[in-house]
Structure 1
Amino acid sequence: MPEDGRVAPGGLVAEDLDRLPDLPARTELVDGRLVFAGPQSSFRSTVVDLLVAGLRRAVPLEFRVRRGMSVILGARQRPQPDVSVVRAGAVRDDGGEPVVRVYERDPTTRAYALTGIHHHRLKLTVPFHLDVDLSRIHHL
């Protein structure tokens, strides 16, 4: 980023987020543009807790589960997914029921592609076995 504080043509790059002062905690970079997340709802927070607990029970030792961690996906892409492992899930409120979108990174193109949208149960076999009953949201 130029020293005068102006954004270069094409937008910001991922490393600029580390140098910009006074950014809100949940600031993402999408296509070179800053995106500011709004307040997190109780529903969303509870769904994230459910996912983190299920993932931590299931992940092999070489994986780590993180919540709200900034991830550099490209020069102008730095989202902050709700939950990250090898795959990132974006949790949304779908009329009172959790919806989890799972993405997988293609090792050749290094791009992320949607591999599934899960409504009542999140069940995966890659990169590890995972089975989370999303309907438990109503018991937490």
Structure 2
Amino acid sequence: MSVAPKASEPTWPTPPEGGWTADDLDRLPNLPPHTELIDGSLVFVSPQTAFHERAVDFFKWHLQSLAPEDYEVFREFTIDIDRQNRPEPDAVVVRGDVVDEGPGQTRFPAEAVILAVEVVSEDSVSRDRETKPLKYARAKIPHWRIENENGRAAVHVFDLEPTTGSYTSVGIFRGRMKVDAPFSVDLDLTEIRTRHGKGK
């Protein structure tokens, strides 16, 4: 008589007293791809929508083509904010001098980040609109937030108010986005759509 083996229960890492740290992300085994650290807690990424995928591709590609030569653009790469916060923006612009061409680099220091871009996901609305922007502002990182408005992109652009260190809104862009910081950008946001032109 054969007995089918019992399915093994998934084992989740138990946080230490005081929560996880930024260094733990590189040491913990078998974490899902794109795990973030927010306030000492591990945050796992859910499957993304087609809009999210297209928007991230759009901004990564265009920022790469428009950024000055001494900047580099990465998709889904973590930032060291502090000991208990290592978020992963959907796209990030960094100074080229902090990029290590070797295989071991997994994060960038916050002070080297020129821009953090987040495309809002349905499963992380409060995190994308409130929690992570607060962390970016405290780290003095300019921030763009992309919202899905019925299949069209709306880009909320924030810069830092130098006397308070808090964000101030530069504007909300629909259709066309034209800004001068952190470098000159002029984008046709209607290009974020299916290749077959649906949703025009």
RMSD: 2.7
- Give the structure with the larger helix fraction: 2
What is aligned with 2:154? 99
Contact 1:89 1:102 in 2 (8 A): no
CA distance in 1: counterparts of 2:59 and 2:88, whole angstroms: 16
What is aligned with 2:33? 25
Contact 1:69 1:84 in 2 (8 A): yes
Q: In the TM superposition, what whole-angstrom CA distance separates every residue of 1:80-118 from its partner, at most 9, and x where no partner exists?
A: 111100100111333212233445578999x78465454
Q: How many residues align?
A: 135
**Structure of greater relative contact order (alpha carbons < 8 Å, 6+ residues apart):** 1
User: CA offset at residue 47 of structure 1?
Assistant: 1.0
What is aligned with 2:115? 87
Listed as ranges, the gaps of 5+ residues in structure 2 are 1-12, 94-113, 121-147, 196-200
Contact 1:89 1:100 in 2 (8 A): no
Listed as ranges, the gaps of 5+ residues in structure 1 are none
TM-score normalised over the length of structure 2: 0.58
CA distance in 1: counterparts of 2:166 and 2:116, whole angstroms: 9
Structure 1 residues 26 and 14: CA distance shift in structure 2, 3 A: same
Larger radius of gyration: 2
